[in-house]
Structure 1
Amino acid sequence: MSNNKQTDAPQFIADLSGGNFAQQLGIAISEVAQGVVANGKKGKVQVTIDVSHIGESNQVNISHTLAYVEPTAKGKRSEDTTSETPMYLNNDGSVTIFANHTKQLYEQFDKA
């Protein structure tokens, strides 16, 4: 599969949980950075992505976890959230929210 197209990572992140994951990630990064600067201690933002096959199709289930530890004056505050998003493994090797063969449907509407 080395000759295949790679997944568009920014779009992939934007598609997780309908855009909620990207928003949560941005909030987590900001909160942890603020805690680090305010308290002089290390913080941590961790993203875990697990991929599993859905049935006999070209679909995969993306389980995505966002966990972070924000330093505080007297310790730390942590939070984690996990969600799932079904996606497609396309013939070109890319992983997208919509199968690539449906792209032509949207192009027809754009021409009208």
Structure 2
Amino acid sequence: MSKQTDAPQFVADLSGGNFAQQLGIAISEVAQGVVANGKKGQVKVTIDIARIGESNQVNISHTLAYVEPTAKGKRSEDTTSETPMYLNNDGSVTIFANHTSQLFKEFERS
């Protein structure tokens, strides 16, 4: 079985950390609207993955969409961005290829 991707790190790496920050804001705003207005809200994350050329790189297209209930209706917003990542030999998906992490470890020992 291949190694699984570290999901918290994966989300933290999307758009250089901006996606995780946007997700946190969306969850808070929708929850506040739900409590204040007694209506259902929604936060939706969509992740599409496409291969980049003939390499082990993949393009991660990530969309964050949310609907916040308001007193007279709803407010919605969505944003899409892309982040290139690597499918490593062990099956994990990371922002840096696994073979590059070895370079940093060697440098730290010197």
Distance, in Å, in 2 between the alignment partners of 1:95 and 1:104 is 16
Match of 1:33 among 26, 31, 34: 31
Per-residue deviation, 1:10: 0.3
- SS of corresponding position for 2:86: strand
Match of 1:72 among 70, 73, 82: 70
- Structure 1 residue 8 and structure 2 residue 6: aligned? yes
- SS of corresponding position for 1:109: helix
Q: Which runs of 4+ in 1 moved over 2 A?
A: none
Distance, in Å, in 1 between the alignment partners of 2:84 and 2:29 is 29
One-letter amino acid of the structure 2 residue matched with residue 9 of structure 1: A
Partner in structure 1 of residue 46 of structure 2? 48
Partner in structure 1 of residue 21 of structure 2? 23
CA RMSD of aligned residues (A): 0.5
Match of 1:109 among 83, 93, 107: 107
| Length-normalised TM-score, structure 1 | 0.97
Per-residue deviation, 1:109: 2.4
Distance, in Å, in 1 between the alignment partners of 2:109 and 2:31 is 45
Segments of 5+ residues of structure 1 without an aligned counterpart are: none
Identity of aligned residues (%): 86
Per-residue deviation, 1:56: 0.5
| Length-normalised TM-score, structure 2 | 0.98
Per-residue deviation, 1:111: 1.7
Segments of 5+ residues of structure 2 without an aligned counterpart are: none
